[in-house]
Structure 1
Amino acid sequence: MVDRVLVTGGTGKTGSLVARQLAARGVETRIATRNANSPEQVRFDWSDTASHRAALDGVDAVYLVAPTDRTDHLPVMRPLLERAVERGVTQLVLLSASSLPDGGPMMGEVHAWLHANAPRWVVLRPSWFMQNFVTQHLPSIIHEGCIYSATQDGRTPFIDAADIAAVAVEALVNPIFRSGESILTGPEALSYDGVAERIAAVAQRPVRHCRLSVDALARRFTGFGIPEHYADALARMDDAIAQGAEDRTTTEVAQVTGRNPTTLTDFLTVHRKAFHQPPTG
C-alpha cells in the first residue's frame, strides 16, 4: 500500500497535477522544491544530495521529473535513485518522452537505469503537451499570430498534461501496475498547420504555422537564453517529428484511466481566454 509519495517537479506542468490528484485520493503527497514554504513541501535539489535523505523519509513511491537545465540527466539523478532503491521505495515512476527510448539520450539513460536496477518501475513516454500552446508558444501566437516550429508537415498526437498525471497516479498507487513503459498520446495526430487552424477557430483570430529550419529554430531558442546544446537538442526533436517519428496514437490513457484522452479542441476551448490577454512572464 502506498501512503506517501514524493513528487519531484511538484510545481511543474505534470507534477502539480499529480500532487493534486494524489491528494484527492487521500494519499499523502510530499512536493519536492528548491524553496519549500508550506507543510506539504520539502526542500529538494537534484544537485544537493544532502537534501535527498529528508525528501525520501517515509516515502513509498516517487514521481521523477528530470531537471530542465541540462541534458545529461542520469549523473545528477542517480544518487536519489540509488538511495530510493536502497530504502525499498515501492514504485519509481519516471516522466520521459515518446521520443526518448530506453537507453537513448537524456531521460532515456534514466529509463535504462531503472530497467536494470529498480525492482518496480514505470516510465511514462508522453508525446508533446497541449499546454505548450498556452505557455511557451503563447507570446508568438498573441503578438505575431504565429506558431514557430521545424516540424514541417510532420504530425504529433498532442496530449493534455492532466491525462499524463492521471496515468502517473495509477502507476504510483496501484499495486498491480506492472513495470514497463507506457507511450501516452492524445486521440489524434495533427500537423502544426492543423493546430494553428484549431487555435484560430477557438481564439477567433488569425494564427498560422511559421516554418523554420532546424538551425533557425535552435538560434531562436538560444535567443531566449536556452543553452546552445539544449537548444540544438530541442530543435532536432522537431526534425524527428518532420520525419514522422511522432505520427502515431495509442490507447494507453483510456486503458489505464477508463476514459478517453482530451481532444485538442476541447483543451483549447477550456483555455480560450489565454489567447485574448497579454501573456504573463
Structure 2
Amino acid sequence: MNPPGTTLVTGATGTTGSRTAARLIAAGHRVKAASRHATSVPGAEPVRFDWYDPACFGGALAGADRVYLVPPVGEPDPAPVMLPFLRQARAAGVRRAVLLSASAIPEGGPGVGAVHRVLPGLFDGWAVLRPSWFMQNFTGTHTHARSIREHGEILTAAGTGRVGFVDADDIAAVAVHALTDERAPGTDLVLTGPEALSHDEIAAVVTEVTGRPVVHRPLTYEQMRDRLAAQVPLEFATMLAGMDRAIAEGAEDRTTGTVRQVTGRPPHSFRAVAARELSRHR
C-alpha cells in the first residue's frame, strides 16, 4: 500500500463509509470523515459536507489526496449534484477517487451510472465499486430490517429471484485496497457474496439465526413502487421497484470472485453476517 495519505470519506457515518473510514484509520491512514453534521468519528477529522452546499466543498477537500464517494441518498440524478464537487476535487489536488455505485447500474446507466462514465477522465487513479444488494439491509436500519424486527416479514417485488447479497464489511475492505494500493484498479468492480439467495432463503436464515419466524411476502411491482413512494421521491421509488422486478427476472442471480481477488480472502456468507449482527437484536 502507499504511504499514508489523507482520504476524504463522504457518507462517513453510513453503512459503507463508516466501515471504510474505520479500516483506513486502523491501517494508519489519515481520514477526514465527512457528514452533514460533522459527526465525530473515532480517529478521524470530522468535517461538514453536504452535496447540495458547494460552500462546504473547499474545507472538506483541504489536504485530501483521495476520496471515497457515496452518492447523495435518494437522488435519482446525482451527476449534476456530484460533478461540480468532483471537478473541484481534481483542482484541489485529489488524485484518486473510488465511487460507490451498484451492480445493477452499468457505466453510463441511470443515476450514478452517469458519474461512473466521467470518473476516468477526472482522476489519475479511480475505481467504481458495484456491489450487489447489502446483507445489512436485513440487519441494520434499512426498511427490510425494520420490517423483520417489527412484523417478522420481508416485502419485495423480487419474487423468487436470487441475489448475490454482499457484506458491507467486504465492500469496505475492497474500498480500502482501491484507495491505498500502489495502483488503483482503474475499472469497475462487481462485488457479491459467495452465493446467490432468494428472499425466501434470506427469511429462512434469519428465522434460524434469531429463533423468530420471518417470512417473505411478495408484492407486485406497483405495490412495491407505491410503498416506497411513501418514503422517497416517486422517481427514486420507481427505480428501486424496477430493480426488484429485474431481480425477479434473474438480473442479480450471479456471484463474482472479486472480493477474494482484491482482499485475498473469501467474502462472508449471509449466515455468518446474520449470526454476527442479528444476535444483538435477540
How does the TM-score come out when normalised to structure 2? 0.94
Measure the CA separation in 1 of the matches of 2:276 and 2:104.
28
Map 1:120-139; keep pairs closer than 5 Å: 120-134=125-139, 135-136=141-142, 137-139=144-146
**Deviation at 1:142?**
2.6
Measure the CA separation in 1 of the matches of 2:65 and 2:122.
17
Q: Counterpart of 1:94?
A: 99
Q: Counterpart of 2:35?
A: 33
| C-alpha RMSD of matched pairs (Å) | 1.3
1:52 pairs with 41, 50, 57, which one? 57
| Cα distance per residue 1:142-179 (max 9 Å; x no partner) | 33221100001110011110000000001001122331
**Deviation at 1:275?**
4.4
Q: Percent identity?
A: 47
Map 1:117-196; keep pairs closer than 5 Å: 117-134=122-139, 135-136=141-142, 137-196=144-203
**Deviation at 1:84?**
1.5
SS of 2:15's equivalent in the other structure is coil
Q: 1:89 to 1:244 in 2, by over 3 A?
A: same
1:21 is matched by which residue type in structure 2?
A: R
Q: Counterpart of 1:4?
A: 6
**Deviation at 1:37?**
4.9
**Deviation at 1:274?**
4.5
Between stretches 84-93 and 48-57, larger displacement belongs to: 84-93
**Deviation at 1:69?**
3.1
- The answer to whether the 8 A contact 1:6-1:63 is kept is yes
| Cα distance per residue 1:6-50 (max 9 Å; x no partner) | 000011000000000000011000011111254711111111111
Q: 1:178 to 1:37 in 2, by over 3 A?
A: closer
Following superposition, which runs of at least 4 residues in structure 1 exceed 2 angstroms of deviation? 115-119, 272-276
Q: Counterpart of 2:110?
A: 105
- The answer to whether the 8 A contact 2:78-2:111 is kept is yes
| Cα distance per residue 1:155-211 (max 9 Å; x no partner) | 001111000000000100112233111000000000111111111111112111100
**Deviation at 1:86?**
2.0
Measure the CA separation in 2 of the matches of 1:119 and 1:176.
10
- The answer to whether the 8 A contact 1:4-1:59 is kept is yes
